[in-house]
Structure 1
Amino acid sequence: MKPLLTSTLALALSLGAPALAQTPPTRDPAQIQAGRYAVDPGHTQVGWRVSHMGLSNYAGGFSEVSGSLELQPKDPAAAKLSVKIPVASVTTTSAKLTDELKGDQWLDAGKFPEMTFVSTKVAPAGKDRAKVTGDLTLHGVTRPVTLDVALVGAGANPLNQKYTVGFEATGTLKRSEFGVKTYVPLIGDELHLIIAGAFERQD
């Protein structure tokens, strides 16, 4: 390697090191910064899974999530969560099926453009876990849903230095109870949700 190239590479690495150095994320809820957080849409994913004719489990997802989270680590039960998901952001591995899911036989994104979740109760379920119950609105129907939530980690993002907290949540709902009944029971009624949520502190 030429001396000039070697020195340039070494300089680049030395300049980049401080930006990437950070205190490891914490999984201790007591160490998380209190305040108001906003969804980081680029790092938040909402996945779903249904039984496909009892032969396989078929998965898809939503994106472009927005919302807010209020955290008080000293009083976990006081946390508040509000999330909006554009229904038209639904995706699958089949372009044809993705278009069908947006149509009026399924999610009807034109008539019901948003799915929302607003928490009504947060019950701690261990040091870094909680059961979050809220009102889920889908396809024009609002029903209570409980999510099992686990803390993934919290700390400064080494790339943008924004203080971020991440959670993983799982839950199950019956789509027929929200008026989405197409092909039940051939296509499973139970919709399993898997949510990877990232939130950036705002104040």
Structure 2
Amino acid sequence: MKSLTASILGLALTLSAPAIAQTAPTRDPAQIQAGTYAVDPNHTQVGWRVSHMGFSNYAGGFSDVSGTLELQPKNPAAAKLSVKIPVASVTTTSAKLTDELKGDQWLDAAKFPDMTFVSTKVVPAGKDHAKVTGDLTLHGVTKPVTLDVTLVGAGTNPLNKKTTVGFEATGKLKRSEFGVKTYVPLIGDELHLTIAGAFEKQD
């Protein structure tokens, strides 16, 4: 009797659950739709990592990213990327440190509320890789930074049905060159960035 009841319950749950079918995302640039894409802020993450006194590599992140991506898969070098990251979104595992990073001794979020990146050059480096150079503005200073970008996948999001493309990018910069010099070199000058970016096609 228990077995029959369990079977009926399982069947009911199966019938009541929405069917979510997904075609596997592609990593073939030729299959990606050309057009303008906007950052999906709910699924885009910007991570950073810096040496903490040589004892550990301390990590944190930023959120609430916005921006656009112009894609021309038949001419990848023509791609254009522009993103904005609110500095006050910085977060770490320490509430005290997070507050300090927002202050004027570090990122000074009140005076310099946004970090931006605007691409100036895209160089394809294989079928699903590219080096993207752009102007990074942080703490009121603008300098060129190059990101190593890898296509993660593209296709239709099975939940919201939006055409979506995702990339992973890595890069590094010297924070002192942007005027963020607190505790250098006790706290590492070289800042490593990792970006998990999701973009949705605009109609």
With structure 2 as the length reference, what TM-score do the two structures score? 0.95
Distance 1:102 1:78 in 2: 36
In structure 2, the residue matched to 1:102 is 102
Report the counterpart of residue 33 of structure 1 in structure 2: 33
Match of 1:148 in 2: 148
1:17-166 equivalences under 5 Å are 17=19, 20-166=20-166
1:173 has 2:173 as partner: yes
Describe the shift of the 1:182–1:127 C-alpha distance in structure 2 as closer, same or farther (beyond 3 A). same
Q: Does 1:8 align with 2:9?
A: no
Give the superposition deviation at 1:9.
Answer: 1.5
Distance 1:191 1:156 in 2: 34
Q: For residues 188 and 25 of structure 1, do their structure 2 counterparts lie closer, same or farther at Cα, with a shift above 3 Å needed?
A: same
In the other structure, the counterpart of 1:183 is 183
Equivalent residue, structure 1, for 2:201: 201
Q: Which amino acid aligns with 2:27?
A: R
Q: Which runs of 5+ in 1 are unaligned?
A: none
State the secondary structure of the residue aligned to 1:172: strand
TM-score under structure 1 length normalisation: 0.95
User: What amino acid sits opposite 1:163 in the alignment?
Assistant: T
Query: Structure 1: how far apart are the matches of 2:40 and 2:192?
Result: 22
Using the TM superposition, give the Cα deviation of residue 10 of structure 1 relative to its aligned residue in structure 2, in angstroms: 3.0
Which runs of at least 4 in structure 1 moved beyond 3 Å after TM superposition? 2-7
Show CA shifts across 1:87-115 (max 9, x none): 00000000000000000000000000000
Deviation at 1:86, TM superposition (A): 0.3
Cα shift readout 1:48-72 (whole Å, capped 9, x = no counterpart): 0000000100000000000000000
Q: CA deviation at 1:186?
A: 0.2
- Secondary structure of the 2:177 match is helix
* Offset, 1:8: 2.7
The alpha carbon displacement at 1:2 in A equals 6.2
Q: Distance in 1 between matches of 2:54 and 2:135?
A: 29
What's the offset of the Cα at 1:23? 1.5
Query: Share of identical aligned residues, percent?
Result: 84
Secondary structure at the residue paired with 2:74? coil
Aligned residues between the structures: 199
Q: Distance in 2 between matches of 1:73 and 1:45?
A: 24
The letter of the residue matching 1:25 is P
Partner Cα separation in structure 2 for residue 89 and residue 127 of structure 1: 34
Could you tell me how far apart the structure 2 residues matched to 1:152 and 1:47 are? 17
**Structure 2 gap segments, 5+ residues each:** none
Which amino acid in structure 2 is aligned with residue 12 of structure 1? S
Other structure's SS at 1:77 match: helix
